[in-house]
């Protein structure tokens, strides 16, 4: 019997199945390449055109009609301010909403379910729509004017759903046995949330917030809509007119002088580095505080 078994060839005769597998893998690699090649081409194009212009002049000078001395300092600073304000606004509101939805809301109530559905939908609303809302409601309705604070508030609205969803995932990932253990010791709901659930969820919340920030920093459309597309040669303030780095890039690409196009490429590199640093920070946080239960 064992001899009979040994006589059966181990090579499979099912060539068709083998080919199917190979075609499938080839398709997977192809879909990877589409994204990779497109991004790679853009990246090298930008790098080859702009790298020579990434210098102190770009970082410290104001924009100018003379490309030799033109820089992006006001735009760069405005982007930094926008980022800081964004974190200040988004994290407390986003985490607060997530805590309410995960820990307090009764999911059997229709209004809580409606709220959840709407948050999911808001995450998919195009950014230009937030820009229109900001223009109508913040800039004109509340009379804030075309100021940096209005820009920060619009970006806050834009990324809030993303932050809420990320924070909810992080809070949900805290095992219920941790909550039960804390309740069983006589902790109140407030103590359970504040001392156990939130500390355990912080790595996930931080990662989600940073990724949302990275997205917001590259946003252009809503800022253009509220009037960030102006020539600003002074440092921005919260209540003053402003331009942001992606808007500055857009601005430069429209100018006929090819040197400005190179400057735009250089500013893109700076923006890429900022986003890359933020993402790297998110990955570091995730690995540093990764929990096992």
Partner 1 sequence: MNIIETPVQLAQQAERQLPSAEHREVVFDVSALTVSYGDKPALKNVSLEVYRNFVTAFIGPSGCGKSTFIRCFNRMNDLIPSAAVEGRILYHGEDLYGAHVDPVEVRRRIGMVFQKPNPFPKSIHANVAFGPRVLGMTNDLDGRVERALQQAALWDEVEDRLDESALSLSGGQQQRLCIARCLAVEPDVLLMDEPASALDPISTTRIEDLMHELKRDYTIVIVTHNMQQAARIADMTAFFSVEVDEGQRSGLLVEYAATPTIFTKPADKRTEDYVTGRFG
Residues that bind partner 1 in the complex, under the rule CB under 8 A: 106, 108, 175, 177-188, 191, 195-196, 199-200, 291-293
Q: Output 22 or 291, the one with its CB closest to partner 1.
A: 291
- Write the CA distances from 254 to 6, 47, 259, 265, 276, integer angstroms: 74, 19, 12, 12, 26
CB 191, min distance to partner 1, A: 5
- Find the angle CA(119)-CA(124)-CA(127) to the nearest 5 degrees: 110
Q: How many CA atoms lie within 13 A of 192 on its CB side?
A: 21
CB 190, min distance to partner 1, A: 10
Q: Which two tokens stand for residue 71?
A: 């820089």
- Write down the H helix ranges in the chain: 2-7, 15-50, 56-60, 73-99, 110-122, 127-133, 148-172, 176-184, 189-192, 198-217, 221-225, 245-254, 258-288
Q: Output 169 or 259, the one with its CB closest to partner 1.
A: 169
CB 8, min distance to partner 1, A: 44
CB 172, min distance to partner 1, A: 16
CB 152, min distance to partner 1, A: 34
Q: Output 198 or 214, the one with its CB closest to partner 1.
A: 198
Q: Output 172 or 215, the one with its CB closest to partner 1.
A: 172
Q: Output 3 or 190, the one with its CB closest to partner 1.
A: 190
Q: Cα–chain-centroid distance for residue 68?
A: 33
Q: Output 137 or 183, the one with its CB closest to partner 1.
A: 183
Closest CA to 46 of 280, 275, 274, 271: 271
CB 184, min distance to partner 1, A: 4
DSSP 23-61: HHHHHHHHHHHHHHHHHHHHHHHHHHHHGGG-SHHHHHS
């Amino acid at each position: 019997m064992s001899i009979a078994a040994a006589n059966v060839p181990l090579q499979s005769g099912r060539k068709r199945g083998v080919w199917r597998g190979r075609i499938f893998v080839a398709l997977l690699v192809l879909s990877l390449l589409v994204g990779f090649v497109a991004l790679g081409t853009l990246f090298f194009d930008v790098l080859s055109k702009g790298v020579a212009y990434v210098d102190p002049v770009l970082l410290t000078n104001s924009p100018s009609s003379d490309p030799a001395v033109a820089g992006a300092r006001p735009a760069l600073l405005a982007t930094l301010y926008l980022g800081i304000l964004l974190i200040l606004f988004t994290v407390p509101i986003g985490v607060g909403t997530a805590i309410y939805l995960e820990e307090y809301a009764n999911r059997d109530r229709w209004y809580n379910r409606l709220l959840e559905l709407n948050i999911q939908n808001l995450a998919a609303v195009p950014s230009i729509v937030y820009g229109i809302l900001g223009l109508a409601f913040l800039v004109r309705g509340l009379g804030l004017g075309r100021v940096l604070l209005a820009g920060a508030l619009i970006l806050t609205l834009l990324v809030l759903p993303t932050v809420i969803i990320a924070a909810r995932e992080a809070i949900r990932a805290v095992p219920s046995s941790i909550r039960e253990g804390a309740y069983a010791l006589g902790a109140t709901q407030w103590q359970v949330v504040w001392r156990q659930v939130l500390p355990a969820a912080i790595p996930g919340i931080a990662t989600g917030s940073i990724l949302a920030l990275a997205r917001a920093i590259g946003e252009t459309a809503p800022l253009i809509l509220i009037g960030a597309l102006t020539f600003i040669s002074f440092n921005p303030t919260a209540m003053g007119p402003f331009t942001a780095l992606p808007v500055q890039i857009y601005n430069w690409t429209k100018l006929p002088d090819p040197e400005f196009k190179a400057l735009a490429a250089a500013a893109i590199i700076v923006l890429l580095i900022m986003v890359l640093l933020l993402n790297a920070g998110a990955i570091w946080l995730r690995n540093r505080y990764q929990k096992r239960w």
